[in-house]
Amino acid sequence: MVTNDATILKIKHDLLREVAKLAWEGTLEEQRDELPYKMFPGPQAQFRCCIYKEREIIKQRIRLAEGKCPVGMDSMNVVQVIKAACEECPIASYVVTDNCRNCMGKACQNSCNFGAITIGDSRAHIDPGKCKECGKCSQACPYSAIAHLERPCKKVCPVDAITYDEYGICVIDERKCIQCGACIHSCPFGAIGTKTFMVDVIQLIKAGKRVVAMVAPATEGQFGPDITMASWKTALKKIGFADMVEVGLGGDLTAAAEAAEWAEAYKEGKKMTTSCCPAFVNMIKQHFPTLLDNMSTTVSPMCGVSRMLKERDPETITVFIGPCIAKKSETLDLNITGNADYAMTFGEIRAMMRAKGVELEPEENTYQESSVFGKRFGNSGGVTAAVVQCFKEMNEDISPNVMKCNGAAECKKALLLMKVGKLPADFVEGMVCVGGCVGGPSKHKSEVESKKARDQLIGQADNRQVHENLKNLDLEQVAMHRH
């Protein structure tokens, strides 16, 4: 089996580019069924057991690229399993390896309370149907001959939303899934993907609609120090977007609204959480519903910018671009009015660009719409820094104790403490991705790789205060709360 992450990404991005090209040309409906044969002409398979399986996987990926489920009935979950690609992972979590000496002590068998272990002629055997995955046999074996083989997708899921069916195929429990996307790049077979809304956006642009791109603060630095927000604006306009707005401006809007909300809660002695990370919001809704009253009612920066644009022109179609998967689920939340109509990843928007022969090109760092604080919303701790800055500008004498949660594990811990009334902090900043948005599942470069370029680009921006940056906006017209 010849496969690695680079191979999976190449297939995925090649497929997205081909679908985008056909959508731009208006021939997707007629040529959709030919794509699997174009990408895998055969007769020999390149990565899977046979050419037919490879083509079936492409068919399911095409459905994802069109915003549909790979197979079967549709669902609202944006994270989906490509069943044809899910294979060869061990069903049993505990497996006896060749290190087993079939010893006389039989410590593994004696430690098992469920009768799952039998002794064969040459080694012990574990019955997956009886095994409760307690791990006692692995701990008891003097030769460390029993390995714990946890499947990658299940291992990285922060909310235990992944199980398997009777055939060992991955199943996502949508009642638990927070749609963070952590599982997508963990699978060595590329068997988990996400719906894209690329085709919808292309069709709207072709129809002459006013489609405006909203680029996430985490974008700066992802493509090096020479690719600026001006670079993005130029490239996006070339493919038909009417305009582009920096979502860091939405960070300023969110910080101003959240500071007012936090100040009131602080004086009342009420503990609160942030609400700008959609995966964190999903975690609260689905796993800690009793804390919904403690969640900030301020909308995300994406929603704030979308509402601002729609206030100016109700016919505007807004499209968020960034490294986040959960943003797609946020756009599908019908309870949030005025939110972005679509959300896209870097890979999806670049597929749209490449299908039209457009690339990001270096430009001067002259296009800046947000304060430095709004730009730092993409970093862990960035929301807190912006809110604290707002307190200073509001002349509020507040020095809050904030638990800055960097990653899903820290988010869960903070919410558990809040649930049982033992949270030591006044507020919780929740970022499900380690590092913040810059560590999102669809990032182009890692947080470490992009940091130097990001710091350089942000350092060139005007160090404006949050409220100063918003002085030209009518904040009363931009409703910044969910209800």
CB 285 within 8 A of CB 159: no
* pLDDT value, residue 2: 38
Q: Do the two domains 5-88+151-196 and 94-148 of this chain adopt the same fold? A: yes
| In the chain, domain spans | 5-88+151-196, 94-148, 199-469
DSSP code, position 465:
-
Instruction: Specify the pairing of strand 124-126 against strand 117-119.
Output: antiparallel
Of the candidates 148, 482, 164, 132, which has an alpha carbon nearest to the alpha carbon of residue 338? 482
Alpha carbons 218 and 209: distance in angstroms, whole number: 27
- Both tokens assigned to 321: 């671009």
Dihedral pair phi/psi, residue 197, rounded to 5°: -120, 25
* pLDDT value, residue 1: 32
CA distance readout (Å), 59 to 14, 25, 39, 191, 239: 13, 20, 11, 13, 26
Alpha carbons 406 and 273: distance in angstroms, whole number: 14
Instruction: Specify the pairing of strand 79-81 against strand 192-194.
Output: antiparallel
CB 431 within 8 A of CB 280: yes
CATH of span 94-148: 3.30.70.20
DSSP result, 119-182: E-SSSEEE-TTT-----HHHHH-TT--EEE---HHHHH-TT--EEE-TTS-EEE-TTT-----T
Tens digits of pLDDT across the chain (483 residues): 333 478 888 999 999 999 999 999 999 999 999 999 999 998 998 888 899 999 999 999 999 999 999 987 778 899 999 999 997 677 668 889 999 999 998 999 999 999 999 999 899 999 988 888 889 999 999 999 999 888 899 999 999 999 888 788 899 999 999 999 999 999 999 999 999 999 999 999 999 999 999 999 999 999 999 999 999 999 999 999 999 999 999 999 999 999 999 999 999 999 999 999 999 999 999 999 999 999 999 999 999 999 999 999 999 999 999 999 999 999 999 888 899 999 999 999 999 999 999 999 999 998 888 889 999 998 999 999 999 999 998 888 988 999 999 999 999 999 999 999 999 999 999 999 999 999 999 999 888 888 899 998 988 777 777 777 777 665 555 677 775
Mapped onto helix, strand or coil, the DSSP state of residue 226 is coil
Q: Which CATH number fits domain 5-88+151-196: 3.30.70.20, 3.40.50.1100, 3.40.50.300, 3.40.50.1820?
A: 3.30.70.20
* pLDDT value, residue 476: 52
Alpha carbons 157 and 79: distance in angstroms, whole number: 12
Q: Is 175 exposed, middle or buried (0-12, 13-18, 19+ CB in 10 A)?
A: exposed
* pLDDT value, residue 48: 86
